[in-house]
Amino acid sequence: MARTLRTSVALALTATLGALGAGCTTQEPDVVADEFADGQGQGELAYSEPAYPTEAAWGIEVGQVVPNFAFVGYANSKDPALAGLQLVELADFYNPDGYAYEACVKAGGAACAADYPDAVYPEYSPWKGQPKPRALSVGVSAVWCGPCNQEAKSILPGEYTKYKALGGQFLIALVDGPEPGVAANFTDITNWKNKYTVEYGLMTDPTGQLSQLFPPSLPSNGIVRTSDMTIVHVIAGAPEASYWSKFEAVLASAN
């Protein structure tokens, strides 16, 4: 069954992706919408299965299914195969076969997809063919925010290296640029990924989609269980030991 995304997305797909050119390596989805005004607007993005959990379960509180937000940014700015900007939606991480992670790592993408088709990223994803994560850490950050810079410099790189090998994935959205209240743009996330080691998803979020999940504090972070895309835990501030303990518990629960 095809699934359709309807959400406010900061896109300039025709202008921005076209201008940045051949750097995009992923297949662009069909966009069924009027022209985006000034790079923003409402669009319908048609994708293949697995179907995301029904909208009736969506919400922004712990225990609810995180809405299928979509972003444009860098899936992994350190991977030459992913040069340029990509379109990412939270449904890309939906992994009802999370228990099969080790089998997928051992077997490889094609072999795993034959037995567990929902456990690997599909063709339209920047990570196509790779095993999907069992837990997703999402966060909001800003260029002007000192603790956000410290998080990006000293916390996230090491934790990502550790948890990526265990089936974890990170997604950070820059909501502001150098000035508070002024939305981050593609230049801001480009400068950010050049300044720090960003091997996880780094996205723009000018409409504040992810910010709805968190208190009005930067940075803020949360844990999503990808087997059902439920919000498990939310904190204000940079993640500390107790946060990673909960992240590990989600990883273990999908074994």
CATH number for position 227: 3.40.30.10
12 within domain boundaries: no
pLDDT per position as a tens digit, 7-40? 333 343 323 333 333 232 323 333 322 322 333 3
Say how many C-beta atoms besides its own lie within 10 A of residue 188's C-beta: 18
| Alpha carbon distance 249, 172 (integer Å) | 21
223 within domain boundaries: yes
31 within domain boundaries: no
DSSP secondary structure of 41-102? EEEEEEE-SSPPPPGGGB-SSTTSBPP--EEEEES-TT-GGG-S-EEEEGGGG--TTGGGHH
Domain containing 223 equals 57-253
35 within domain boundaries: no
pLDDT at residue 246 is higher than 80: yes
Comparing 153 with 49, the larger pLDDT belongs to: 153
pLDDT at residue 239 is higher than 70: yes
Q: What is the pLDDT of residue 125?
A: 87
Q: Looking at residues 31-51, what average pLDDT do you find?
A: 38
The two three-digit tokens of residue 91, written as one number: 């449904």
Q: What is the pLDDT of residue 21?
A: 31
Q: Looking at residues 78-97, what average pLDDT do you find?
A: 88
Q: What is the DSSP letter of 194?
A: H
Q: What is the pLDDT of residue 109?
A: 66
Unique residue bearing structure tokens 């339209």: 124
| Alpha carbon distance 7, 198 (integer Å) | 26
pLDDT per position as a tens digit, 140-182? 999 999 999 999 999 999 999 999 999 999 999 999 999 999 9
What's CA 135's distance to the chain center, in Å? 11
* Total domains present in the chain: 1
Q: What is the pLDDT of residue 107?
A: 79
Instruction: Specify burial of residue 207 (Cβ count, 10 A radius: 0-12, 13-18, 19+).
Output: middle
| Alpha carbon distance 230, 66 (integer Å) | 6
The torsion angle over the Cα atoms of residues 37, 69, 45 and 164, rounded to 10 degrees, is 120
Q: What is the pLDDT of residue 51?
A: 82
The two three-digit tokens of residue 78, written as one number: 């350190």
Name the least confident of 30-34, 215-219, 227-231: 30-34
Q: What is the pLDDT of residue 8?
A: 36
Tally: H helices and E strands in the chain = 7, 10
Instruction: Specify burial of residue 98 (Cβ count, 10 A radius: 0-12, 13-18, 19+).
Output: buried
Q: What is the pLDDT of residue 45?
A: 40
Q: What is the pLDDT of residue 49?
A: 52
The torsion angle over the Cα atoms of residues 187, 193, 196 and 198, rounded to 10 degrees, is 150
23 within domain boundaries: no
Q: What is the pLDDT of residue 50?
A: 66
101 within domain boundaries: yes
158 within domain boundaries: yes
| Alpha carbon distance 91, 221 (integer Å) | 18
Q: Looking at residues 90-118, what average pLDDT do you find?
A: 83
41 within domain boundaries: no
Q: What is the pLDDT of residue 253?
A: 87
Q: What is the pLDDT of residue 193?
A: 95
